[in-house]
């Protein structure tokens, strides 16, 4: 099991001696000894870090809309992943349409298991509606007996449509899906990644993104069937490089009010507002991959000190993994007090940059809301603000996408679901300093 490394920074080292003040703390977690890429056949990376065995669940949509090339490419992509599993890995393949079932019950990929699994996937045919909740419950039940801190448990959901009820009617109550993914991650450490297949006009890309966020996973797009194998493989590579699972962050001795908690590296995720009890809260942050830090931002509103002082504790931060909770890392975050204009103007460039990255994602959410409202004036205003932000961040592709949207509006066109999905995918990425 790899060690944990913890680094902290604060956007403003000094705060005024009077009034309330907003400060943002950067919290970065990484595997100790990370830094060398690539693993050998035994799954050992440079620096001695060992990849954890997989407890993988693949959930495939085999509803009627997947007929033809979509399903055939999904089956081929799935088979490629099954080919790459090692003997100490475990996997299940479940399908959902009108109901759900495990066509490959969870099995360890010893001799013979691979061939049986690939044959079961090859025989898959389309049928029925798109009962996603039943599918989630089925795949979660399959991975449940084998999850734990000594393995990495991930579910990959692939779908080309919006979830429906058993009669095939679009299910508008999306909260139940999001709550299911969140609960499975927070209570059982099961991460969920999603892949949207085809045009975003055919599915709710924002929903699949939010589902992955609640499951602390990744949302990826495969616009054409030909992209699916590469997209599937990309997510598999990330998952299979996991070296630490079930990591928990604890913020305690909080000397202020926690306002907002974000993940900003490797991509953006907005957490629900933390429930602070006795000036402390815990958040499950999932797994860490080799050579890939995770970074979080915590906004804290502090009050003026009751008596004059030059420095004080802002909070204490600790992190550990369920594999060995007695071994943990810890840091104290301090803030200074000053009325000196020079000291008060000092800013940490790295943290300020990541704050802008987080605000760029907030603007993406605002843009999606503006498009849903149909208010062209509001869309234009948000596009302009977001474009300025992406230009400041040096995100060329994201800026170009926004410019194309502006041109569409200027010529009387409509911003499409594909436009928003591509913009969201670009916005989720974080461009780091250095």
Task: Look at residues 13, 25, 16, 5 and name the one whose alpha carbon lies nearest to residue 315.
Answer: 25
Residue 99: is its pLDDT beyond 60? yes
pLDDT tens by residue, 374-409? 999 999 999 999 999 999 999 999 999 999 999 999
**CATH number of the structural domain 4-37+245-266+287-347:** 2.60.40.3670
Q: What is the pLDDT of residue 34?
A: 44
Distance CA 109, CA 115 (A): 9
Q: Fold for 52-240, please state it.
A: Rossmann fold (3.40.50)
Q: What pLDDT is stored for residue 105 in this prediction?
A: 97
Cα 78 from Cα 62, distance rounded (Å) = 13
With tokens 């050998």, the residue in question is: 40
Q: Which residues of 376-401 are buried (b: 16+ CB within 10 A; e: fewer)?
A: eeebeebbeebbebbeebebeebbeb
Q: What is the per-residue pLDDT across 239-254, written as a single tens digit (0 to 9) for each?
A: 999 999 999 999 999 9
Bridge partners, residue 247, by sequence: 286, 321
Condensed to tens digits (0 to 9), the pLDDT of residues 264-296 reads: 999 999 898 899 999 999 999 999 999 889 999
Distance CA 347, CA 192 (A): 36
Question: Alpha-carbon distance 282 to 296, whole Å?
Answer: 13
Rounded mean pLDDT, 187-196 = 94
pLDDT at residue 43 is higher than 80: no
């Amino acid at each position: 099991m790899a060690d944990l490394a913890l680094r902290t920074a604060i956007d403003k080292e000094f705060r005024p001696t009077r009034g309330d003040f907003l400060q943002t703390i950067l919290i970065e977690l990484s595997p100790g000894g990370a830094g060398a890429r690539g693993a050998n056949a035994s799954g050992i990376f440079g620096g001695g870090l060992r990849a954890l065995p997989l407890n993988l669940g693949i959930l495939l949509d085999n509803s009627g809309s997947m007929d033809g090339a979509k399903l055939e490419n999904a089956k081929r992509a799935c088979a490629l992943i099954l080919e790459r599993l090692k003997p100490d890995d475990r996997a299940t393949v479940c399908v959902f349409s009108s109901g759900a079932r495990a066509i490959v019950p969870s099995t360890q990929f010893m001799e013979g298991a691979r061939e049986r699994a690939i044959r079961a996937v090859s025989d898959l045919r389309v049928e029925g509606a798109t009962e996603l909740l039943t599918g989630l419950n089925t795949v979660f039940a399959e991975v449940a007996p084998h999850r734990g801190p000594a393995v990495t448990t991930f579910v990959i959901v692939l779908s080309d449509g919006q979830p429906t009820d058993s009669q095939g009617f679009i299910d508008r109550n999306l909260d139940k899906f999001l709550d299911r993914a969140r609960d499975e991650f927070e209570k059982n450490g099961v991460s969920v990644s999603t892949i949207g297949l085809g045009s975003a006009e055919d599915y709710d890309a924002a929903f699949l993104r939010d589902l992955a966020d609640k499951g602390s996973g990744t949302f990826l797009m495969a616009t054409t069937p030909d992209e699916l194998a590469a997209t599937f493989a990309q997510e598999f590579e990330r998952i299979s490089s996991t070296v630490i699972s079930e990591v928990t962050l604890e913020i305690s001795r909080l000397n202020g009010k926690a306002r907002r908690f974000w993940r900003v590296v490797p991509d953006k995720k907005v957490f629900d507002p933390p429930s602070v009890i006795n000036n402390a809260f815990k958040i499950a942050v999932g797994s860490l991959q080799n050579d890939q830090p995770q970074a979080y931002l915590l906004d804290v509103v502090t009050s003026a000190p009751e008596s004059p002082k030059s420095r004080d504790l802002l909070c204490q931060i600790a992190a550990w993994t369920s594999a060995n909770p007695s071994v943990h890392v810890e840091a104290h975050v301090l803030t200074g007090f000053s009325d000196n204009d020079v000291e008060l103007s000092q800013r940490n460039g790295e943290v300020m940059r990541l704050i802008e990255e987080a605000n760029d994602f907030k603007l993406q959410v605002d843009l999606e809301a503006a498009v849903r409202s149909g208010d062209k004036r509001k869309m234009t205003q948000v596009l302009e603000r977001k474009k300025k932000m992406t230009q400041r961040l040096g995100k060329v592709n994201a800026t170009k996408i926004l410019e194309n949207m502006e041109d569409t509006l200027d010529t009387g066109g409509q911003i499409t679901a594909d436009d928003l999905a591509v913009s969201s995918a670009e916005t989720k990425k974080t461009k780091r300093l250095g």
